[in-house]
Structure 1
Amino acid sequence: MMIDHIGMGVSDFGKSKAFYLKSLAPLGIELVKEVYGWAGFGKENKAEFWIGTGEMVQHPMHIAFLADSREDVDRFYQAAISAGAKDNGPPGIREHYHANYYGAFVIDPDGHNIEAVCHKAITP
């Protein structure tokens, strides 16, 4: 991995925290820590994605989370939609990136384009 962690300001901490708790769970990403109005999400007790208050909400960003399987991408998409996300591209192959790029895109409460992607080929 190239980046240690990323953080972004949100307009409604409670709403965004609930959204990410539900949306990222299918990817095995959970709330790891809360400190000073910030919530850190990650795996194996390492917070890599932070949301918080007290900073300007950035213009819409694109953040992609790595999924272990295509089924996890599907579960992410369904969880995010049920958590209030807007569809920005249902799960499917995006051949213009590469032959095995399977992703799903949603818009979060602050307008960010949030993606789950799996790069693995389907094996028989």
Structure 2
Amino acid sequence: MIDHIGIAVADLARSRAFYDAALAPLGISVVMEVSEAMTGGQGAHLGYGRGGKPDFWIGSGKAASGGVHVAFAATDRAGVDAFHAAALAAGGQDNGAPGLRPEYHPGYYGAFILDPDGNNIEAVHHGQAQQEGEAA
């Protein structure tokens, strides 16, 4: 159900030092870094996890004003598309239309909505990389 979750932090370096130390005994470490340039100026993010998959994220910049980020796992791309349409119809604000996000990994297909309280809600499908025009 939950694919990953993220929280906003005021000082990414300070929070990194804290989480690096606190999570190390659990075998959890930074497995992915997303720069501010990669997000189009919306802050930098660190993904913590085990085995190469980031399950817990901390982020700064614009993300720090938005509260919580929760990503729900979709079984396919059509589910991501349907989530986005339903969330918009329910009053959500578009925060990223459905599409591939190769900067995260090939095959990452997600859509983002701001809920009524400004939380960043996502649906994501971790599929195989597909050629443009190929069926999902």
1:94 Cα deviation from its structure 2 partner: 0.2
Residue in structure 2 matched with residue 72 of structure 1 by the alignment: 79
Residue in structure 1 matched with residue 111 of structure 2 by the alignment: 104
**Structure 2: how far apart are the matches of 1:115 and 1:82?**
15
TM value normalised by structure 1: 0.51
**Structure 2: tracts of 5 or more residues without a match:** 6-65
Point out 4+ residue stretches in structure 1 off by more than 6 angstroms. Answer: none
Larger radius of gyration: 2
**Residues 68 and 113 of structure 1, relative CA distance in 2, 3 Å threshold:** same
User: In the alignment, residue 88 of structure 1 is paired with which amino acid?
Assistant: N
Identical aligned residues as a percent: 53
SS of 1:89's equivalent in the other structure is strand
Q: CA RMSD in A?
A: 2.6
What count of residue pairs does the alignment treat as equivalent?
A: 70
The correspondence of residues 1-124 of structure 1 with structure 2, limited to 5 A, is 60-121=67-128
Which is strand-richer, 1 or 2?
2
1:120 Cα deviation from its structure 2 partner: 1.3
**Structure 1: tracts of 5 or more residues without a match:** 7-58
TM value normalised by structure 2: 0.47
**Residues 2 and 64 of structure 1, relative CA distance in 2, 3 Å threshold:** closer
**Structure 2: how far apart are the matches of 1:80 and 1:2?**
17
Q: Which has the higher contact order (CA 8 A, sep 6+)?
A: 1
> Quick check: 2:2–2:70 contact (8 Å CA) kept in 1?
no
